[in-house]
Amino acid sequence: MKAFITRRKSLLVAASAVLALSLSACGGSSTTSTPVASASFEAGTTMEKLNKAQKITIGTKFDQPLFGQKGLDGKPVGFDVEMGKAIAAKLGIPADKIEWVETVSQNRESFIEQGRVDLVIATYTINDARKEKVAFAGPYYEAGQALLVNKDDTSITKPEDVKGKKVCSVTGSTPAKTIAEKYGAEVVPAATYTACLEPLRNKQVVAVTTDNVILAGYVDKEPDAFKLASDETFTKEPYGIGLKKDDTVFRNWINDQLEAFQKDGEYKKAWEATAGKVIKTTPELPAVNRY
Amino acid sequence: MDAVIASLPEYWDGFLRTLYLSVISGIIALLVGTLLAAMRVSPVAALRGFSMFYVEVARNTPLTIIFFFAAIVLPRLGVKFEQFEVAAIIALSSYTAAFIAEAVRSGVNSVPVGQAEAARSIGMTFTQVLGFIVLPQAVRTVIPPLINILIALVKNSSVAGAFFVLELFGYGRQLSNDYGDQVLWILLGVAFFYLLITVPLGLLAHFVERKVAIAR
């Protein structure tokens, strides 16, 4: 038992040393603005509550490169994370007071409903079924279907270019149907999107198609092998910030902040530091939907 | 249930592709397997060694890995093909050929050695002995195990569904995506179409066994 404790202690020391190292290594890469010192909010609002508590819990993905991916230092990085930090800053909460919780596609609604997170910023597509359960601020970004091609391929820049050619996608998925039915590509069915990468590398298919966000993640991992055929997308998937369904005040306030980010360049800065590494064109903030 | 009926065209397309994969691979596997068995009993040591090596490697490797080699590693080595069906056929027939070779070899061993000796004593060559005397007797004994292997081949062809070929199982996955609420029916439909191939094969085995097979 004693040995166990000392081992744990030495582990702790090692871990904190590693943490300190990585912190100093990463210093300065953060783009987040300083928290608003004298943020004050109307009594009874969620903003006031969070500001007083000096703590906010945000759900994001931990496995989506460029948007929300947990690094070796245990901190998530990405565009969604930058958005969360910026909103927290406007609430007067510094970035290190944010508690990041992993949310996956299956638990996002229930985490919000149970109050386990204050916000979900996790490549979260706004749709009517989800609006029944939670509220969405934003959209803050419009993702959409795109094409991944080999780096040296210049013949494909738009979906019309793959007509009659082989394109890999997941069996029966919506992107597979769109590329086949609307653009006349011959779909090569795969079990997962990662399974599509080898045939693309071997030039057995000319492209892989699904959401640009997923594809950008592959480019981020292997920038020498793949590229996006274009920064443009040919379908629209609005990403929103999920919060409690009846909290309209909070939702409107977030929408105001998003518009402010666009105006003061914070949005552009956050994009260029993260997803902009692959998707070079900085998107315009989509018109927020104040329903 | 209505999901199955609504997707009959997909099922049919998948069924035909599964049948196509099974028939082509089956024929190639039978030919290659018999050749391997002949090599295994030939008087040339190198041929015997090669046959043994091939059979041991192919039948002891998981089929998924053989598929991976055929569909992904071969193209990277420069063996390109237009259709992924080709990769599936290469994988299925090379895998099944090993089992066929072993079945045929066991049949050859069951033919009394006196048969071969008698043939040799009247001046027949090795090929003649094998082709006219031994194999015709051997094949009759191994009809039931051969059909077993072919049934396994039909079912094994479902692995192709994970390697870019849209056969029955591939359609099963696509349809369960489309009809998320009726997955059970969709998969039962897939199973039914497999049975449509395998049950007649089993009956055929029974029939042939009674007609030509001889017990020793």
Instruction: Provide the pLDDT for residue A24.
Output: 43
Checking ipTM against 0.85, whether it exceeds it is: no
The answer to whether residues B68 and A191 touch, using CB atoms and an 8 Å cutoff, is no
Q: How many CB atoms lie within 10 A of CB B11?
A: 20
**Is any Cβ of chain B less than 8 angstroms from the Cβ of A99?**
no
DSSP state of B129: I
Q: What are the backbone dihedrals phi and psi of residue A138, each rounded to the nearest 5 degrees, phi first?
A: 100, -150
Helix axes of B45-60 and B8-40: crossing angle, nearest 10 degrees? 150
Measured between beta carbons, the chain B residues lying within 8 angstroms of A202 are 72, 75-76, 80
Tokens of A268: 């552009």
Contacts of A179 (CB under 8 A, 6+ apart): A145, A159, A162, A167, A169, A185, A187, A209
- Chain B positions touching chain A (beta carbons under 8 Å): 71-72, 75-76, 80, 84, 162, 164, 166, 170, 173-178
- B-contacting residues in A 187-226 (Cβ below 8 Å): 188-191, 195, 198-199, 201-204
Containing H/E element for A141?
strand A134-143
pTM, rounded to two decimals: 0.73
Among B6, B26, B9, which Cα is nearest to B166's?
B9
Measured between beta carbons, the chain B residues lying within 8 angstroms of A190 are 164
Which residue of A172, A189, A204 is in closest CB contact with B75? A204
Contacts of A93 (CB under 8 A, 6+ apart): A35, A50, A51, A54, A55, A56
Instruction: Provide the pLDDT for residue B215.
Output: 55
Contact assignment for B178 to A198 by CB distance below 8 Å: no
Instruction: Provide the pLDDT for residue A22.
Output: 47
Instruction: Provide the pLDDT for residue B208.
Output: 85
Tell me how many degrees the CA angle B16-B19-B22 measures, rounded to the nearest 5. Answer: 150
**Half-sphere exposure of A253 toward its Cβ, with a 13 Å CA cutoff?**
18
pLDDT grade for A35, boundaries at 50, 70 and 90: low
Q: State chain B's mean pLDDT as an integer.
A: 91
Q: Is the pLDDT of residue B212 over 50?
A: yes
Which residue of A171, A188, A201 is in closest CB contact with B174? A171
Which has more pLDDT, A48 or B36?
B36
Instruction: Provide the pLDDT for residue B32.
Output: 97
User: According to the per-residue pLDDT averaged within each range, which of A11-15, A47-51, A203-207, A282-286 is highest?
Assistant: A203-207
In Å, how far is B13's CA from the nearest CA of chain A? 15
**Nearest residue on chain B to A173, alpha-carbon basis:** B177
DSSP state of A43: T
Tokens of B8: 């009959």
How does pLDDT run across B17-54, given as a tens digit for each residue?
A: 999 999 999 999 999 999 999 999 999 999 999 999 99
The answer to whether residues B170 and A189 touch, using CB atoms and an 8 Å cutoff, is yes
**Nearest residue on chain B to A176, alpha-carbon basis:** B174
In Å, how far is B163's CA from the nearest CA of chain A? 7
Instruction: Provide the pLDDT for residue A28.
Output: 40
Measured between beta carbons, the chain A residues lying within 8 angstroms of B80 are 202-204
**Which of B164, B168, B179 is the best residue to mutate to test the A interface, defined by the most A CB atoms within 10 Å of its own CB?**
B164
